[in-house]
Amino acid sequence: MSAGPIEEQLDAFRTDFRRLRDEIGKVIVGQDDIVEGTLTALIAGGHVLLEGVPGLGKTLLVRTIADSLKLKFSRVQFTPDLMPADLVGTNVVLDSTDGGGRRFEFQRGPLFGNVILADEINRATPKTQSALLEAMQEKHVTVGGTTYDLPKPFFVLATQNPLEMEGTYPLPEAQLDRFFFKLLVKFPSFADLETILDRTTEKTTAFATSLFDGDRILALAQLVRQIPIAPEVRRYAIAVVMATHPDHELATTSTKKFVRYGSSPRGAQAIILAAKLNAILDGRFHVAREDVRKVAPLALRHRMILNFEGQADGIPTDDVIANILSTVKEPALVAA
């Protein structure tokens, strides 16, 4: 493909991304990093876990993203009594209209949508949480021995409350690994809170309008994968991931002291794809180390399991990642 068409596509990519970000910004106040991180994961084809205390607008963010896209939206409120069949659907017995007796028919659950809001996902039991595993990774579900494909694109945007809050269950490590990014939603600043009150307590209410359909999102995702990455930058990303493993030679002092298990290969995949998208937004047709450093905390913070000492001392995984990014060996010093 010639340079001309690629440049035009990249310009269109940046324009569409900014339009979508600005449209969401009409409703969501003061969460620019969260909005950009969520859109990055969506376009890259990954799922997002949003963590924060209740009332910070996590659910509103997901709903606004769905409103800005011409996609089917489903919302599931996770509770302790929610069952797997409530997510994927179930076979029901129906009477045939032609008098041929009874028959089984599959009734699709809320997972059969494009944008799925799994609200307060960690309030459901591990059995129900695990029902999402196949859907998130394989993009299909199996019921009664029959496999059903999910619509494309398919995104799970889950919200969770901090685990120390009453009535929550930790997500299984295998399910956490399915999330492309984990984003931490902070309390708004004084000015942002004032704007929120203006928008929510006055006569008019802001809302987002639909901009793009699923085909455009899939096209943007394919463009991201065309961005080249130099071998030394790829090896740098690999070195960062390897440094999260306490038994690896690249492990930092912080990793060896506080980490029990490091990131899976999915962490490296998420870093590379997100770094490519960040390069596009920065006006470049190549990936730099700075792109890797920017997205690494979002892709790794939920894929690292702290040991007893790390948990007892309350060490944030972001601190361990920051230590890795500041001390990991450069690619030229890492064996290929």
From residue 182, give the alpha-carbon distance in Å to each of 91, 233, 296, 302: 34, 23, 11, 6
What CA–CA distance (Å, rounded) separates 58 from 34?
Answer: 10
**Residue type at 149 in one-letter notation:** D
Residues of the chain with pLDDT under 50: 1-3, 336
> Do residues 20 and 39 touch, judged by C-beta distance below 8 A?
yes
What CA–CA distance (Å, rounded) separates 60 from 67?
Answer: 10
Q: Give the global pTM.
A: 0.88
pLDDT at res. 336 = 46
Closest by CA position to 45, among listed 171, 225, 212: 225
**Residue type at 41 in one-letter notation:** A
Cβ burial 127-165 (10 Å sphere, 16+ → b, else e): ebbebbebbbeeeebebeeeebebeebbbbbbbbbeeee
Contacts of 177 (CB under 8 A, 6+ apart): 264, 266, 302, 303
pLDDT at res. 106 = 80
In the chain the domains, ranked by start, together with CATH numbers, are: 1-83+112-226 (3.40.50.300), 228-336 (1.10.8.80)
What CA–CA distance (Å, rounded) separates 37 from 18?
Answer: 13
